Amino acid sequence: TDRTLVLVKPDGVARGLVGEVISRLEAKGLRLVAAELRTLTREVAETHYGEHRERPFFGSLVEFITGGPLLALVVEGPRAVEAFRAMAGATDPVKAAPGTIRGDFALEVQNNIVHGSDSDESAAREIGLFFPDLS
C-alpha cells in the first residue's frame, strides 16, 4: 500500500488542530501506521527541507519547524501521497480551497498547519528520516 509522511506542524499543534487533522485522515479512509509528537533538531529540519536550502525563507522555515513540538504521522492507503496533498490544499493558505486543511485553518504561507510528502520518492526519503525503524 502507498504511504506518505504527514506532519502537523508546530503551529497546528499549538492551535489544537491535531485531532482535526487525524479525524479528517481517518474519515477519508487513510490508515495510521506511525505517530510521534516530537521537537525536531535543526539537523533533521534542514535535511527534511533540504530542497529549499537556497531559498530566502529557509532560515525562517527551519526556525518555525523546530520551534515547538510537531506530530509526525505515517499514513497509508491508495495513492496516499496524492490523497493527502489534495486534503492539505495549496501551499499558500489564502489560495487553498475552502474544505482543505490549509484553506479552512490558515492564512500565512509559512504557518500552513500541515506537511505532506510531494511524491512517492519524497515519501520514502521522509519516512526513512522520521521513522528509520519502519521498513
Grid cell digits, residue 79: 495513492
Gap between the Cα atoms of 126 and 100, Å rounded:
23
Say if residues 111 and 64 touch (Cβ distance below 8 Å): yes
Contact track, Mg ion, 113-132, x by CB under 5 A:
-----x--------------
Contact between 4 and ligand GTP per CB under 6 A: no
Grid cell digits, residue 15: 492551535
CA 35 to chain centre: 12
31 is in an annotated binding site: no
Q: Which chain residues interact with ligand GTP by CB under 6 A?
A: 52, 57, 60-61, 91, 109-110, 112, 115-116, 118
- Return binding residues for ATP: 9, 57, 85, 91, 102, 112
- Return binding residues: 9, 57, 85, 91, 102, 112
